Structure 1
Amino acid sequence: MNQQVTAVIVTYNRLALLKESIAAVLNQTVPVANLIVINNHSTAETAAYLTTVQDKRLHAVNLPKNLGGAGGFTLGLQLAFNQTTSDLVWVMDDDTVPKPTALENLLAAANTLQGQFSFLAANVRLTDGRPNNVPETTNNWSTKTAANLIQIQSASFVALLVARPAVENVGLPLPEFFIWFDDIEFTRRLTRFAPAYLALTAQVVHKTKGGREPDILTDDTARLPRYYYYFRNKYYLERTSNGKKGALKETYRDLAKLAQILTQRQPERWQKAGLILRGWLAGKQFHPHVRHIKEK
Structure 2
Amino acid sequence: MGSKDKTVNAIIVTYNRKIQLLRCIKKVMNQDAQINNLIIVDNASTDNTLEEVFNYFDCHNLKISVDKLTKIACQKKINVYVYRCSTNGGGSYGFYTGMKLAYEKLNTDLYWMMDDDGFPAENCLAMLKKEIDNYDYVMPASIDIDDHSKLSWPVRKRNRSKTILHKELKTSWGEIMPYVTPFNGVLLSNNCIKKVGYVNKDFFIWGDEYDHYWRCKQHNIEPVTLLNAIFYHPSQKLPLVKICFGLFSAPYVDSKLRMICLARNYTYIYKHYGQVYKIPLKFIQYTWLFLITRHFDFEGWKLYIESVHDGLIENFDRHKKYLKG
TM-score, length basis structure 1 = 0.83
Q: Distance in 1 between matches of 2:117 and 2:152?
A: 13
Q: Does 1:53 align with 2:73?
A: no
CA contact (8 A) 2:268 2:314 kept: yes
Partner of 1:88: 110
The alignment status of 1:275 with 2:303, answered yes or no, reads: yes
Cα deviation 1:132-160 (Å, max 9, x = unaligned): 25678999xxx9x99922222x5311101
1:9 and 2:12 aligned: yes
Larger radius of gyration: 2
Residue in structure 1 matched with residue 246 of structure 2 by the alignment: none
Q: Which residue of 1 aligns with 2:131?
A: 109
2:173 and 2:291 map into 1 onto residues whose CA distance is 52
The answer as to whether partners of 1:102 and 1:122 remain within 8 angstroms in 2 is yes
Distance in 1, matches of 2:87 and 2:295, equals 33
CA-based RMSD of the aligned residues comes to 2.8
Give a deviation string over 1:88-121, Cα, whole Å, max 9, x none.
Answer: 01000001111111111111222xxxx2422101
1:123 aligns with 2:152: no
Runs of 4+ aligned structure 1 residues displaced above 6 Å come to: 134-139
1:201 aligns to 2:228 (yes or no): yes
Structure 2's unaligned 5+ residue stretches are 58-72, 160-169, 242-249, 317-325
Aligned residue number for residue 79 of structure 1: 101
2:253·2:259 contact (CA, 8 Å) conserved in 1?
no
Percentage identity across paired residues of the two chains? 24
| Structure-2 separation of matches of 1:252 and 1:196 | 27
Q: Relative to structure 1, is the Cα distance of residues 138 and 187 closer, same or farther in structure 2, using a 3 angstrom cutoff? A: farther
**Aligned mate of 2:285, from 231, 253, 256:** 256
Q: How does 1:1-296 map to 2 (within 5 A)?
A: 1=1, 2-54=5-57, 55-56=73-74, 57-110=79-132, 115-126=133-144, 127-129=146-148, 130-132=150-152, 148-152=175-179, 154-191=180-217, 192-206=219-233, 208=234, 210-215=235-240, 221=254, 223-242=255-274, 246-266=275-295, 269-286=297-314
2: CA distance between counterparts of 1:26 and 1:134?
29
8 Å Cα contact 1:50-1:60 kept in structure 2: no
C-alpha deviation, 1:196, in angstroms: 2.1
Instruction: Report the Cα distance in structure 2 between the residues aligned to 1:284 and 1:94, rounded to whole angstroms.
Output: 31
Separation in 1, partners of 2:107, 2:32: 21
User: What is the TM-score with the length of structure 2 in the denominator?
Assistant: 0.76
Structure 1 pair 120–48 and aligned structure 2 pair: CA distance change class (3 A): same
Aligned length: 273
Q: Bigger shift: 272-281 or 246-255?
A: 246-255
- Offset, 1:213: 4.2
Letter in 2 for 1:257: Y
Q: Which one scores higher on RCO, CA 8 angstroms, separation ≥ 6?
A: 1
- SS of 1:131's equivalent? strand
Q: How many Å separate the matches in 2 of 1:233 and 1:19?
A: 30
| Corresponding letter in the other structure for 2:34 | P
Moved more, 226-235 or 77-86: 77-86
